[in-house]
Amino acid sequence: MKKLSIAMLSMVLAGSMLLTGCGGGNNQAAGENDSADTQQSETAENTDGGVLRMGTNATFPPYEYVDENNEVAGIDADIAAAIAEKLGMELEITDMAFDSLIPALQSDTIDIVLAGMTVDPERAEQVNFTDSYATGVQVIIVPEGSDIASPDDLEGKNIGVQTGTTGDLYCTDDYGQEFVKQFDNGPLAVAALVNGQVDCVVIDNEPAKNYVAANQGLKILDTAYANEEYAAAIAKDNTELFEQVNAAIQELKEDGTIDSIIEKYIPAEGDSEDAAA
């Protein structure tokens, strides 16, 4: 796997901005829009295929997060790098709000989303989803000692979610909008839980594990809220890229590349503890 060598502006979890120039290339200014920051790989040898502009929301470890070099790293960044390499393209990653990703595809600001994005019928009316490359689980984070023991106990509770995620959509459907408090990202929803502003947070399992590990006094309920599939999303009219990316994903699944990327960040039970996130 080619390591991304990057010059970029990037966003730390809380949304403040750090200016950094790393790697030997041109520093990419991210432009006037402070809600999206772009990093670019410089290393592809054969980039005749042009630039693959990926959008993500890098507050979702281990799928995407800002690493110690202020680069977007994680499972999705690695899978996208492997796809770009197969397509002979240079990967450019833009970090933006999760609920901006589908509009950014539709306005041709980006070519592809890899963001632990769940395949969902309503989204599938707006964008095309590739074959799934991973599974996800919506879980419930509560404070230790909470009276919420399963999804059956959520009625009438204040539920924290990340805006526009499936956790948001499902809880709004199931419990009503007035009980669902939206936050820009998972860490902010979890901070609200720690401060007692919400009773629980519904969010994807792998980032949930990271958030719970980073905060004392929280736990993930054993009973899952929903099981899901993650896939890459591409604009409806971009059928050529869609077919190329889907073929690349199939090859990367068949040759074990995707499994080994996921295993690198989420070691299976019993494996040694060298997770990268």
Interface residues toward ligand GLN, by CB under 6 A: 57, 60, 98, 115-118, 136, 162, 165-166, 204
Closer to ligand GLN by Cβ: residue 117 or 142: 117
d(CA 141, CA 148) in angstroms, rounded, equals 10
From the list 33, 32, 73, the residue with the least C-alpha distance to 54 is 73
Minimum CB separation from ligand GLN for residue 49, in Å? 26
d(CA 89, CA 82) in angstroms, rounded, equals 10
d(CA 204, CA 228) in angstroms, rounded, equals 9
- Which residues have CB under 8 Å from 108's CB, separation 6+? 235
Helices (H), the chain: 75-87, 101-106, 121-124, 166-175, 186-194, 205-214, 239-254, 257-265
Tokens found for residue 266:
């989420």
Minimum CB separation from ligand GLN for residue 20, in Å? 23
Closer to ligand GLN by Cβ: residue 71 or 206: 206
Closer to ligand GLN by Cβ: residue 170 or 242: 170
Minimum CB separation from ligand GLN for residue 50, in Å? 26
d(CA 151, CA 173) in angstroms, rounded, equals 14
End-to-end CA distance of the chain: 18
Minimum CB separation from ligand GLN for residue 98, in Å? 5
Closer to ligand GLN by Cβ: residue 47 or 166: 166
Closer to ligand GLN by Cβ: residue 121 or 145: 121
Minimum CB separation from ligand GLN for residue 166, in Å? 4
Closer to ligand GLN by Cβ: residue 87 or 115: 115
Helix (H, G, I), strand (E, B) or coil at 100: helix
d(CA 188, CA 207) in angstroms, rounded, equals 13
Q: 143 preceded by cis ω (within 30°)? A: no
Closer to ligand GLN by Cβ: residue 60 or 175: 60
Minimum CB separation from ligand GLN for residue 101, in Å? 8
Hey, what amino acid is at 253?
K
- Beta strand pairing status for 233-235 and 127-129? antiparallel
